[in-house]
Amino acid sequence: MSNATRLRRRLVGHLLGEGVLHDARWITAFRTVPRHVFLPRFFVPAANGWAAMETGDDKWLARVYSPDVLVVQLDDDSGLWERARYLGAQPGTPTSSSSQPTIMAIMLEELRVADGNRVLEIGTGTGYNAALLCQRLGSGLVYTVDIDPDLVDAARKRLAEAGYAPSCAAGDGAEGFPAGVLYDRVICTCSVSSIPPAWLEQTVPGGLIVTTLNRPIGGGLVRIVAGEGATGHGRVLARDGRFMPLRAHRFKPSKVPEGDVVWRPTRLPIGVITEVRSRFEFFAGLQLPGVAALREGGITALVHPDGSWIRHRQAGGGFEVAEGGPRRLWEGVESAYEEWLDLGQPWRDRFGLSLDGEEQVIWLDSPDGRTWPLCP
């Protein structure tokens, strides 16, 4: 047994232990598809940015079969890897990656594919996820699209090297696949602020779409049942997942103004809003549209595009906040938290979606219940 095969089996053992992989056919796919073929080079975190790693480097194969996300592109620039390789670690923001196998397994199982299903993947990336789909369904039933032509070309070659030949295209994933084909399943391996109507239109009625929501606070994994035309309905799933956003759905970064501030005590830790494991996080994102979290010198801040901001810090055995701008954001946080308590502390799996073209809402418990715009 080769070292790669042993590491692949160990990775599957990890996924089984995490309770994210159950279906025997997906287990076989993860045991079979050689992930190392799709990751001949990638970035690893370094003290001053991102260092370049490639085939043959010490620990390269172990990293490939680790349960970690592996960054393959920075700042939408495929040339930065070469610069990091020959000039040393480079700064940059990850813009493409091979996702954590854990979330890949969750999404593939939530897709509920059946033999003979035609599947569209949005976000080809390295091609590894497309290979898993091909292993499960056969290459002739898999279509994949990515906005970056360089990524698509590289993925196509690596898929062929691994023995797979799905239909690959370069294009805006928000428009679906360029060919006029209807799909039984659509899976998006990047997050979206709203569900592109083209995905609904290209999915057979009753077909499923699995993607993740791109929200400044409170994203999550959703499964949608397509209706006629650009309509559909779905649920936010208990099993969570977060991805880099589709390029057109990225948020513009904000900053907190510098200067002296006045601190006051608060009973709420900032983690109830910003941490994925918090049951309040999803509701907080709905009640605080446009508010995003960032870290500055050990202090967590919340910012809004209108210039409102909050700084939050631990002070002794408690917490303190300072705020500024046109609105009192922390009062909104405290009010939202009290409302959440009154509603029975709903977690993300009590929320659903109703979609009709550009009119898209999130609701609590039922479509007739409390609603919020999906993309305010």
d(CA 63, CA 72): 13
Do residues 158 and 148 lie in contact, with contact meaning Cβ atoms separated by under 8 Å? no
d(CA 220, CA 211): 9
Strand pairing of 94-98 and 220-226? unpaired
E strands along the chain, which residues?
41-46, 49-54, 70-74, 94-98, 119-122, 142-146, 167-170, 183-192, 203-213, 220-226, 231-236, 264-266, 292-296, 299-303, 309-315, 318-324, 351-356, 359-364, 371-373
d(CA 356, CA 349): 21
User: Which residue from 329, 327, 279, 278 is spatially nearest to 301, judged by alpha carbons?
Assistant: 329
Strand pairing of 183-192 and 119-122? parallel
User: Which residue from 120, 165, 174, 167 is spatially nearest to 147, judged by alpha carbons?
Assistant: 174
Any catalytic annotation for residue 99? yes
Q: Enumerate the H helices of the chain as residue ranges.
A: 3-18, 24-32, 35-38, 60-64, 80-87, 101-110, 128-137, 149-162, 197-201, 271-274, 281-287, 329-342
Locate 103 and state its tokens: 């979330």
Locate 282 and state its tokens: 């999803």
User: What are phi and psi for residue 221, nearest 5 degrees?
Assistant: -85, 135
Q: Enumerate the H helices of 240-301 as residue ranges.
A: 271-274, 281-287
247-262 residues labelled b (16+ CB within 10 A) or e (exposed):
eebeeeebebeeeeee
User: Which residue from 134, 119, 124, 121 is spatially nearest to 98, judged by alpha carbons?
Assistant: 124
Instruction: Give the active site residue among 96, 98, 99, 254.
Output: 99
Active site residues: 99
